[in-house]
């Protein structure tokens, strides 16, 4: 039980670090969103903005495009590094590695994580994590599909 917790939190830490790095890489795109859609920074303004159904609807196609780009960049970040080095930067820091044979396997295993950035498909990531928590091997759904795993 103790081993599982360490394993889970170690992977979570690696994930948080990677998310931070992806945030930095995609900062120009996020800046573009801020420039184009003036999202209020204060709470009442934000509530009013979000409650106005037209507010985001006007920018629907733009947001879809940007979220697709961020999804592709995130997918490329994890897939390229894990295919070439067996580790993303986050995994390097927490000292875990990916067992995989080719690039395609890396793409598949990272699909759900990258989908976190893509519009309404972020729920797939949460399904992936729930599968990881409840199965005995502690593998994510997409790790099972790609036949890969993370080892120390």
Partner 1 sequence: MRTARIILITLLSLFFISFIVSKLDTKEVIMQNKIAVIPIKGAITVEGTGDFFSGSGVSSNTVTEFIKKSNEDESIKGIILEINSPGGGVVASEEIANAVKESKKPVVSWIREVGASGAYWIASASDAIVADPLSLTGSIGVVSSYLEFGGLIEEHNITYERLVSGKYKDTGTPFRELKEEERNILQSKLDIVYDYFITDVANNREMEKEKIQEIATGMFYLGSEAKETGLIDYLGGKEKALEVMKELTGLEELQLVSFQERKSLFELLRGASAFSSFYIGKGIGSGLYEQVEVKKGFNLVV
Q: Give contact residues for partner 1 (rule: CB under 8 A).
A: 21, 24-29, 31-32, 35-36, 38, 40-45, 48-49, 55, 58, 69, 73, 76-77, 80-81, 84-85, 89
CB of 6 to partner 1, least distance (A): 25
Q: Cα(27)–Cα(23) distance, rounded to whole angstroms?
A: 6
User: Is 146 exposed, middle or buried, given 0-12, 13-18 or 19+ CB atoms closer than 10 A?
Assistant: buried
Residue at token pair 């080892």 = 151
Write down the least CB distance from residue 29 to partner 1, Å.
Answer: 5
Q: Nearest approach, Cβ of 122 to partner 1 (angstroms)?
A: 20
SS3 138: coil
**83 or 150: CB nearest partner 1:** 83
Task: Describe the crossing of helices 103-115 and 60-85 by its angle, rounded to 10 degrees.
Answer: 140
CB of 22 to partner 1, least distance (A): 8
- Closer CB to partner 1, residue 55 or residue 145? 55
Nearer to partner 1, 69 or 129 (CB): 69
Q: Considering the complex, state which of residue 85 and residue 127 has its C-beta at the smaller distance from partner 1.
A: 85
- CA dist 107 and 113 (Å) reads 10
* Placement of tokens 């003036």 in the chain: 38
């Amino acid at each position: 039980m103790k081993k599982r917790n360490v394993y889970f939190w170690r992977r979570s830490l690696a994930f948080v670090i990677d998310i931070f790095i992806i945030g930095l890489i995609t900062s120009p795109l996020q800046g573009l969103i801020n420039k184009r859609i003036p999202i209020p920074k204060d709470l009442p303004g934000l509530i009013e903005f979000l409650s106005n159904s037209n507010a985001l609807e006007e920018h629907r196609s733009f947001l879809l495009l940007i979220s697709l780009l961020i999804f592709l960049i995130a997918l490329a970040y994890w897939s390229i590094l894990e295919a070439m080095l067996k580790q993303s930067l986050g995994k390097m820091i927490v000292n875990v590695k990916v067992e995989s044979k080719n690039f395609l396997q890396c793409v598949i295993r990272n699909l759900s994580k990258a989908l976190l950035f893509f519009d309404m498909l972020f729920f797939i990531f949460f399904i992936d994590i729930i599968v990881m928590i409840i199965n005995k091997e502690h593998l994510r759904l997409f790790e099972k599909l790609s036949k890969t795993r993370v080892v120390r």
